[in-house]
Amino acid sequence: MKILFVTSEAAPLIKTGGLADVSGALPPALREIGLDCRLLMPGYPAVLEKLGTAVVVAHFAGMPGGIEARLLLSTLPKSDTPLYVLDAPQAYVRQGGPYQDAAGQDYVDNALRFALLSHAAALLASPGSPLEWRPDLLHCNDWQTGLAPAYLNFLGRPIPSVTTVHNLAYQGIFPPMAMLQLGLPAESFSIEGLEYYGNVSYLKAGLYYSDRITTVSPSYAGEIQLEPLGMGMQGLLSTRRADLRGILNGIDTGDWNPSSDLHLPGEYSMRAPSGKKRCKQKLQEEMGLGQEADAPLFGVIARMTHQKGLDLVLAVADGIVHRGGQLVMLGTGDKLIEQAVRDTAARHPGRVACMIGYDEGLSHRIEAGADSFLMPSRFEPCGLNQMYSLRYGTPPIVHATGGLRDTVEDGVTGFVFQEPTPHALWLAVERAMDLFAQKPAWKKMMLAGMHRDFSWENSAKAYQALYEEIIGRQ
C-alpha cells in the first residue's frame, strides 16, 4: 500500500509542536509494518539546510498564484523514509518560523503558501503526476493541507484521502478573496464545501472533502462532535461521525528513552531508576533551583497558549512553594503568558524557574529531572508530553480531556482532575505531594507509568487498518 503523507512540519527538520513529532514518527512506523509511506513537506530554509543528498525529481508550473516550484527527493533524517520537499523559495524561504515571522505575526500570504502545498499533494495523487510513483491514498494533516482533498475532489477523486485533525483550534480561515488565487471552482465556496461563516476555511475543506477524518485520540473524536470543543465544526463533524475515528498517537521511544537519552546527565530505567536522582539534581543546578533532593519538583513544557492552561499553573505556584515544592517551566508563545511566567519565577527565586524559548535538550532534562509533570490543558487532542512523562517516571497531573484522559490513569500512573480550575488543579497537586512523601507508593506509581507501552506500532497498525478499509471500499 502506497501512502503519501503531507504535512507542514516534521521532526527533526522543523517543529513547532506535536504535529512535527507525529509526522517524523508515523511514516517510518508505517514503513516498519510494510507500507510504502512517503512524506511531502515545504522546503523551508531549516528543512533545506538539514537535508542530506537531494535530487530534483519534478518541476511544477500552473500552481496557485502562478508560483513555480521544484520537487526534491531526499530521505527523512535517521530513517529510510522517502521525503519529497516542495522547493518554492518565493513561498517558503523566509526569516522566521513555518507560519509566522520572527515577531510572531502570521505571514500575510499563508493562504497561498499552503494552497501550494495542498495543490502539489493533489497533483502527485492524480494521473497527471510528474512522478512514476503514485500513491493509493493521500493522508493530510491539519488546515495547512486541508485544500488537498478539495483539489482532489475536482480532479475526479483519483484516490481517496484521509484528513487527521491534530488541533481543531487552528482552522486556516481566510477572507473570501483568497478564493481568487486557489484555482478551485466557485461552487466550492458554499456550505457544501469550504465556505465557513462567509470566509474560506482550509480545515473545513479537509473535513468536508476527505473520505475519512481521524483525530489523535478516541476521547477527542467524541468531544469535537459537541460544543464547545467542536469550535464551530461540531455540526459537520457529527454529520460525518461514521467517517470519523480517534487513533491515539504514539511516541518515539528511541528519542524518548531515559536509558539512552543523550540529553541527560545520567541514565536510568525501570530496573535501575536511581539515575533519575542525578537528573533532578542537575536540573535544579541548571535552572538555579535550591539543591533539595526531597522537594517535590514539578515540570511544565508547553506552547504558551490559552489551550495549555499556564494560568492555572501560575495560580497554584505560590501553593507549591509554600508546601516546599519547586516548579520549572519551559515554553514560548503568547507574550502576555510568557511575561506572567517570568514574573512568577522572579517572585520565587530558587523555587520557581523558567526558560522562555524553545530548547529540545532542556525539554528532555525536565521530563527526566522533574518528579511530576503538570498538564492542565483546557483541551488536548492527544498530547505527547504526558506520555513522555510516564515513560520517564515522572507521574503527570492532567485535566480529564482528550488524549490526557485516554493515557493517564488516575491514582495508578498519575493524577487526573475533572475541571480546568485552579482549585481542582491544586487538589490534584496536593494529592501528588502527599503521595510523593510516601516513597514506596510514589515509586510504585512511577514504575506503573514506565511500564505503559506508547510505541508507534499500535497506532501504525490502526492507520493501516483504516487505509485498508477505505481502499477496499473504493
Q: Which residues are at the interface with ligand ADP (CB under 6 A)?
A: 17-18, 21, 301-303, 330-332, 358-360, 363, 382-385
> Closest separation between CB of residue 27 and ligand GLC, Å?
14
Q: From the list ligand ADP, ligand GLC, none, which binds 216 (C-beta under 5 to 8 Å, kind-based)?
A: ligand GLC
Toward ligand ADP, which CB reaches closer, 18 or 65?
18
Q: Does residue 381 belong to the site contacting ligand GLC (CB under 6 A)?
A: yes
Residue 384 engages ligand GLC in binding (rule: CB under 6 A): yes
**Residue 118 interface partner, choices ligand ADP, ligand GLC, none, CB cut-off 5-8 Å depending on type:** none
> Nearer to ligand GLC by C-beta: 166 or 280?
166
Q: Does 247 bind ligand GLC (CB under 6 A)?
A: no
Residue 331 interacting with ligand GLC (CB under 6 A): no
Residue 55 beta carbon to ligand ADP: minimum distance, rounded to whole angstroms: 31
User: Cβ of residue 299: shortest distance to ligand ADP, in angstroms?
Assistant: 11
Q: Which of ligand GLC, ligand ADP, none does residue 359 bind to, with CB < 5 to 8 Å depending on kind? A: ligand ADP
Q: Which of 17, 89, 158, 218 binds ligand GLC (CB under 6 A)?
A: 17
Rank residues 325 and 449 by Cβ distance to ligand GLC and give the closer one: 449
Task: Show Cβ contacts of residue 402 under 8 Å, excluding neighbours closer than 6 positions.
Answer: 217, 219, 220, 223, 229, 377, 379, 380, 381, 382, 383
**Chosen from ligand GLC, ligand ADP, none, partner binding at 360 (C-beta under 5 to 8 Å by type):** ligand ADP
**Grid coordinates given for 255:** 528519542
CA distance 395 to 325: 15
User: Nearest-CB residue to ligand GLC?
Assistant: 18
The residue ranges that bind ligand GLC (CB under 6 A) are: 17-19, 22, 166-167, 216, 249, 380-384, 403
